[in-house]
Amino acid sequence: MIPEIGHFALILALILALVQGILPLIGAATNQANFMAVARPAAQGQFVFVAIAFACLAYAFLANDFSVKYVATNSNSLLPAQYRFSAVWGGHEGSILLWTLTLSVWTLLVTLFSRHLPQAMAARVLGVMGLISIGFLLFTLMVSNPFERLLPAALEGRDLNPLLQDPGMVIHPPILYIGYVGFSVAFAFALAALMGGRLDAAWARWSRPWTTAAWVFLTLGIALGSGWAYYELGWGGWWFWDPVENASFLPWLVGTALIHSLAVTEKRGTFKSWTVLLAIAAFSLSLLGTFLVRSGVLTSVHAFATDPKRGVFILIFLTIVIGASLLLFAWRAPKVGLGGKFALISRETFLLANNVLLLVATGAVLLGTLYPLFIDALDLGKISVGPPYFDAVFLPLMAPAIFLMGIGPFARWKEQSLPELAKRLKWAFGVALLSALLMPLTLGKWTPLISFGLLLAFWVIATGVYGVWSRLSQTPGTMMSRIAKQSPSWWGMQVAHLGIAIFIIGVTLVKGYETERDVRMALGSAVAVHPYSFTFRGAKPQAGPNYQAWVGTVEVFKNDKLVATLHPEKRNYFSTGMAMTEAAIDTGITRDLYVALGEPLENGAWSVRVYHKPFVDWIWGGCVLMALGGLLAISDRRYRLHQRSANASPTLTVESQA
């Protein structure tokens, strides 16, 4: 009964989505207030029904209802409750339902925080989001129905993929989807502005907090996914340039460009058509990612069962949504106008140049991801494009972008003298260069690549510190009041940029200095990874809820003092017979100690992989800082203060520049 309620709720949600997607757009076009007024209640109702459907599916999982086919393929009665809940999005159908739910949550938030918008604008935004929702609800109901029954019911479920039975996998997909789908708001705002012919600073201001919020979640989602791969896959890698990873990274790159471009559009009224194109591109890449992951056109570690009908459906949906919005862009953008004037050397130019670099990097990642598909489609054979390619291409494209990142915040809007800029920043550059050259020597090994990576990071830090210092020293008052006087969005920028630097330090140092030992460890034997010594104390069998494990004990000494006791596991899941390596990690600010069990050898000995990974957590620390920067930016009162006057003529505010 419950699954049928869920199914029915989805149908009702579809009807409401149709109402939400059609009437308000007609109303906005023909200026009929009562049609436009439908948007909010329809969107809120749609959310309620999608939430009911989701709750019904979650109930089916928690109640072990194996008469539901999707539950029977993705769960098992032995599965612990929290994983039975996360199994809701452990397969294709539930993932799509989660996508739809996330979209309806974002839509709900728009209905709640859009009261200050002109009615036509709000109606168009909600209408566009309704149209996207129609597509996903149809997709769910037609080819991915999670409530499909299994007759006769299965006695036992097949189980959730053991790789996904992990706390990281409970939160990673929802966070990632919130980010992915969040770009639909920026997309809807962009289309609404194009339809209404009002691409102005007010539009940019309205979309900014939404875009930043989506970007924050996407950043965290990607970081969580990478962290999960790091400890769950058992070989200590944290990024593999896998198609699925790239699918989330592409919208992130464009989203980053969009955030910066929106800043220019809001403050200076320029780059309007470029910004609107980025908003369309960010969400299009989210949809494209969904297509790549769900259609099976590319092979990936995430081997989802694929159904050609699904691929065809998403492709048609993709063609309609993206094609229509790009045509709308081509039709409306030429009339947008150019906005304020600026000199060749100005903050506008720096931001635009950075945007272009980010987009070129996006193009490179997209090319590498899709190239095997192109070659295959042209019957030129099968090739693989992997990490060696992406490393070789992505890094040279990003390095100048990072360099510009240090300069941008110092340049003035409209016009900046280059010699003055050089004068201001030469010390920052000197300090960064010197410390980047010297620091590797203190760490034991110098290579040009390590120094170069550190140079980029130190450059960002040095310019950031100098920027903060000069801004604070120009503000009167006590230290606390000086700090408080700067706008949260300015602090947000500084924190996010610092996050990039921290991230680069993590990547550089772990790539440069990590040590790996693959050893045969008998009871009591030790392996030295300077300055640590790992001693093996044997492995014992231990029963888990739905698996049998070997749990090893490894003691880590530093200067004969015990610093950590690690328990790496080798699990064998009952239902699938799959063997899983659960690495044990001792996390520290300056290093991770990582131990993974390999295979059992004779006499209680095991092959063991031991890693010393210096500064690896800075990779995720950097991501967290970036997300924190985004949150600070959203918290800026500006977005709320000006909302009241938003109905009036668009105001261009010019902020003082340090």
The interface with another protein within residues 337-356 (CB under 8 A) comprises: 338, 341, 344, 349, 352-353, 356
**Minimum CB separation from another protein for residue 382, in Å?**
5
Q: Site for another protein (CB under 8 A): which residue of 118, 311, 544, 600?
A: 311
What residues from 313 to 342 belong to the interface with another protein (CB under 8 A)?
A: 315, 318-319, 322-323, 326-327, 329-330, 333-334, 338, 341
The two structure tokens encoding residue 228: 């999960």
552 - beta bridge partners? 539
**With binding defined as CB under 8 A, does residue 251 bind another protein?**
no
Select 96 or 357, whichever has its Cβ closest to another protein: 357
- Nearer to another protein by C-beta: 52 or 393? 393
- CB neighbours of residue 417 within 10 Å: 12
Binding-site string for another protein from residue 452 to residue 491, where x marks contact by CB under 8 A and - marks none: ----------------------x-----------------
Which listed residue (33, 63, 112, 377) binds another protein by CB under 8 A?
A: 377
Structure tokens at 607: 């092959």
CB 43 within 8 A of CB 20: yes
In the complex, minimum distance from the CB of residue 392 to another protein, in angstroms, rounded to a whole number: 8
> Taking CB under 8 A as the rule, does residue 540 contact another protein?
no
Which ranges of 63-118 does DSSP label H, i.e. alpha helix? 69-74, 81-86, 92-112
Q: Does 438 bind another protein (CB under 8 A)?
A: no
Beta bridge partners of 594: 585, 611
How big is the chain, counted in residues? 658
d(CA 455, CA 367): 28
Nearest-10 Cα torsion for 440, 445, 450, 452:
60
Q: Is 535 an interacting residue with respect to another protein (CB under 8 A)?
A: yes
Is residue 263 within the footprint of another protein (CB under 8 A)?
A: no
Binding another protein (rule: CB under 8 A), the pick from 1, 152, 388, 648 is: 388
Q: Is the omega angle on the peptide bond into residue 531 within 30 degrees of 0, that is, cis?
A: yes
Angstrom distance (rounded) from CA 454 to CA 13? 52
Dihedral angle of Cα 129, 135, 137, 143, to the nearest 10 degrees: -160
Q: How far is the CB of 380 from another protein (least distance, A)?
A: 5
Question: What residues numbered 76-135 form the site for another protein, per CB under 8 A?
Answer: none
Task: Calculate the alpha carbon distances from 243 to 98, 367, 388, 395 in Å.
Answer: 21, 11, 14, 18
d(CA 248, CA 225): 10
Of 204 and 364, the one with the shorter C-beta distance to another protein is 364
Region from 131-139, 256-264, 511-519, 570-578 binding another protein, contact rule CB under 8 A: 511-519
Among 96, 101, 108, 298, binds another protein (CB under 8 A): 298
Interaction between residue 565 and another protein (CB under 8 A):
no
Tell me: does residue 297 bind another protein (CB under 8 A). yes
Binding to another protein (CB under 8 A) within 580-639 occurs at: 598, 602-604, 607-608
Pick the piece of the chain touching another protein (CB under 8 A) from 108-116, 152-160, 277-285, 491-499: 277-285
Among 81, 83, 84, 82, smallest CA distance to 68 is for: 84
What distance lies between CA 2 and its chain's CA centroid? 34
